[in-house]
Structure 1
Amino acid sequence: MRALVWHGTQDVRCDSVPDPEIEHERDAIIKVTSCAICGSDLHLFDHFIPTMKSGDILGHETMGEVVEVGSAAKSKLKVGDRVVIPFTIICGACDQCKRGNFSVCERSNRNKHLAAKAFGHTTAGLFGYSHLTGGYAGGQAEYLRVPFADATHIKVPQGISDEKLLFLSDIFPTGWQAAVQCDIEPTDTVAVWGCGPVGQMAIRSAILLGAKQVVAIDRVPERLSMAEAAGATTINFETDSVIERLNAMTAGKGPEKCIDAVGLEAHAAGTVDAMYDRAKQAMMLETDRPHVLREMIYVCRPAGTLSVPGVYGGLIDKIPFGALMNKGLTIRTGQTHVNRWSDDLLRRIEEGQIDPSFVITHTEPLERGPEMYKTFRDKQDGCIKVVLKP
């Protein structure tokens, strides 16, 4: 089969690789009908996430048709079923899965010793996202082996396009969880840093959840326009002071809720802390650039909430923890518990409350994947979200 394969920093190729096979009785094989490039894939592309190996198949936003089912998964899946595959691999039976904390499944990471060394405990296995999360082949391919397939799937109906359903795999529930973690009230101003795909979903989720005002922060015109189309007020951080604008919008009190949809590769317009992070990163003294986190802590209203769906990979420096503590801020983070939200979000799609396909700007064949990684990373050609068709 053909698949997008990581060969090193900024080196992704469309290679011929062996077809996946059933390896365990709970496995299934799906024929991929649509997949996507995620913003967090760019962290792999630029090699900010450790434990990648040459030959790893990328991708964790995938859907398709079941073509083979292991003996222990046949009670839940059958050949011909149409499924979206969550990026988190879940056993469905461990203590964390029973509690709905699917992204920290205790059994699905087959390299749990690596995760435990890095994080203190294991987290869930993820598709196509380094050996720290299990070293599983990803779904930017013609076929995908799904471990624990009886639990790791979302059955979806016929008659709804792939484009409306595909993002149930990651960015829609990720944006939704980011907003839910804010405990939004009707009087709240919610500020969202980053108007990429996850930020766009967080903006719309905050609006659906009844926020009084949503403010979107970015510098890319196409992204800001997309946020405005949803009803958000926008701030271009290259031309305006984010802190001054947010304080002006909130009578000097700051937003009650702040969402970091940027993560470890935060950019800033010539600020001292951004230059500091760049220098520390170049000397391998810091892995992640936390400008957004610092700004959120500073501007958030006392007793407010910070929600962090943006991916962080390692160590950050100069975090104003004194401000965080003294202002009484709450931080809620985490990879997404996809299956916790999937039934509700599928219902909202079916009822027409939201059509997640709005975020797609490019649809290309799988073979153009390496080129589209660069287009997406460099924000060329108005690119916000890429869907690939194997």
Structure 2
Amino acid sequence: MKALCWHGKHDIRCDTVPDPAIEHPRDAIVKISACAICGSDLHLFDGFIPGMKHGDIMGHEFMGEVMEVGKDNHALKPGDRVVVPFTIFCGECDQCRRGNFSVCERTNRNKETADKVFGHTTAGLFGYSHLTGGYPGGQAEYVRVPFADKTHIKVPEGLTDEQVLFLGDILPTGWQAAVQCEIEPTDTVAIWGAGPVGQMAIRSAVLLGARQVICIDHVPERLAMAREGGAVIIDFENESVVERLGELTGGKGPEKCIDAVGLEAHVMRSFDSFYDRAKQAVMAESDRPHVLREMMYVCRPAGILSVPGVYGGLVDKIPFGMAMNKGLTIRTGQTHVNRWTDDLLRRIQDGQIDPSFVITHTVPLEKGPGMYKTFRDKEDGCIKVVLKP
């Protein structure tokens, strides 16, 4: 089969690789009908996440048709149409029973390594390094889904791939980011980043009843999409984020802040941008935490910081005393996808949200390697790429 494979920093290739096969009685083999390039994939493309090996299959946002199931998988049958969440979970361990699917205690095949890096293992993730199990991803023609009797979302009749594909990652990620904020009707929610997750967080905050949603970015196409979704926009290249947030909140600051950027924060003409890039260059810091610093500074005391943006390692110069003395609550984590998908699927069916609005480019799988750079560099108005095997 064809698959997009990692061969080093900035080196993604469309290779011919062996077809997957059933390896465990709970498995399923899924023929991919649509997959996507996610912002988290760019962290692998740019070499910021360790644990990748030559030939690893990329991708964690995908869906398709069940072709084969293991003998103990009674939840699925050939012909079922499913979205596959990026988190692999067993459904039986203590964390899964609590709904904390992204920290499932059983699905990371490299638990010992994860224990050393993270203190305790996380769940296995598709296409996201050997720190999270080394599972082949879904930017391919077929994929083996382990624990598929639990790790799936069945698609009802009448919905297109484009409407449901993002149930596997960016829609529940934006939703969880907003839910973690405990939004009240009087709240201003400020969201850093107008990429795909930021766009979903904007619409989630609106649906959850925020009084005002503000989005900070600098890419015109992304800012325009954020405005269409109901956000007041701040272009950080042309405005002071701190001053503008003060104006929009009467000097109080936003009650809730969401970091939808993560470790590759880009800041124009900023000392901490120069500082972080310099430390990255000498491997003294792995991530660029400008957004975390700014959120801690501007957030109203007793507010909440929600962090769906991915961080992979070490950050420096975090004003934690500021966060502590202001009484800020910080909530983070990979998304517990299936905790939210029943509700979100109903909202899609009811017409409350159509996640396909974020798609700007749809191309064959073979053109995927070139689209990584287009997506990363925001060329050609690119906000979200869907690949069709």
TM-score > 0.5, shorter chain as reference? yes
Distance 1:345 1:72 in 2: 28
Q: Which residue of 2 aligns with 1:140?
A: 139
Partner SS, residue 332 of structure 1: strand
Q: Which residue of 2 aligns with 1:363?
A: 362
> How many Å apart are 1:270 and its aligned residue?
1.2
> How many Å apart are 1:281 and its aligned residue?
0.5
Distance 1:324 1:232 in 2: 26
Distance 2:379 2:99 in 1: 38
Distance 2:121 2:229 in 1: 38
Q: Which residue of 2 aligns with 1:156?
A: 155
Cα deviation per residue 1:217-250 (whole Å; 9 max; x = unaligned)? 0000000000000111000001100000001111
Distance 1:274 1:367 in 2: 35
Q: TM-score, normalised by structure 1?
A: 0.99
- Spell out the pairing of 1:374-389 with structure 2 (5 A cutoff): 374-389=373-388
> How many Å apart are 1:376 and its aligned residue?
0.1
One-letter code of the match for 2:2? R
One-letter code of the match for 1:44? L
One-letter code of the match for 1:6? W
Distance 1:157 1:3 in 2: 27
Q: Which residue of 2 aligns with 1:194?
A: 193
Unaligned runs of 5+ in 2: none
Distance 2:230 2:124 in 1: 36
Cα deviation per residue 1:321-373 (whole Å; 9 max; x = unaligned)? 11000000000000000000010000000000000000000000000000100
Distance 1:158 1:78 in 2: 16
Partner SS, residue 313 of structure 2: coil
The question of 1:185 aligning with 2:184 is answered: yes
C-alpha contact (below 8 Å) 1:35/1:62 kept by paired residues:
yes
Q: Which residue of 1 aligns with 2:95?
A: 96
One-letter code of the match for 1:184? I
Q: Which residue of 1 aligns with 2:68?
A: 68
One-letter code of the match for 1:48? F
Q: Which residue of 2 aligns with 1:298?
A: 297
C-alpha contact (below 8 Å) 1:34/1:387 kept by paired residues:
yes
Q: Which residue of 2 aligns with 1:7?
A: 7
One-letter code of the match for 2:24? H
Cα deviation per residue 1:258-305 (whole Å; 9 max; x = unaligned)? 000000000111111111101100010000000000000000000000
- Spell out the pairing of 1:12-91 with structure 2 (5 A cutoff): 12-73=12-73, 75-91=74-90
> How many Å apart are 1:158 and its aligned residue?
2.2
The question of 1:234 aligning with 2:249 is answered: no
C-alpha contact (below 8 Å) 1:37/1:61 kept by paired residues:
yes
Distance 1:346 1:311 in 2: 25
Q: Which residue of 1 aligns with 2:223?
A: 224
- Spell out the pairing of 1:193-212 with structure 2 (5 A cutoff): 193-212=192-211
Distance 1:158 1:250 in 2: 44
Distance 1:303 1:172 in 2: 27
C-alpha contact (below 8 Å) 1:82/1:158 kept by paired residues:
no
Distance 1:286 1:109 in 2: 26
Distance 1:313 1:230 in 2: 30
One-letter code of the match for 1:368? K
> How many Å apart are 1:157 and its aligned residue?
1.1
Aligned residues: 389
Cα deviation per residue 1:33-56 (whole Å; 9 max; x = unaligned)? 000000000000011000100000
Distance 2:111 2:346 in 1: 34
One-letter code of the match for 2:375? F
Q: Which residue of 2 aligns with 1:270?
A: 269
Distance 1:301 1:114 in 2: 39
RMSD between superposed Cα atoms in Å: 0.4
Q: Which residue of 2 aligns with 1:107?
A: 106
One-letter code of the match for 1:291? H
Distance 1:273 1:44 in 2: 23
Partner SS, residue 258 of structure 1: strand
Distance 1:115 1:357 in 2: 34
> How many Å apart are 1:159 and its aligned residue?
1.8
Q: Which residue of 2 aligns with 1:246?
A: 245
Q: Which residue of 1 aligns with 2:372?
A: 373
Distance 1:241 1:365 in 2: 41
Cα deviation per residue 1:100-141 (whole Å; 9 max; x = unaligned)? 000000000000111100010000000000000000000000
> How many Å apart are 1:93 and its aligned residue?
0.3
One-letter code of the match for 1:120? G
One-letter code of the match for 1:11? D
Distance 2:118 2:76 in 1: 34
Q: Which residue of 2 aligns with 1:257?
A: 256
Partner SS, residue 30 of structure 2: strand
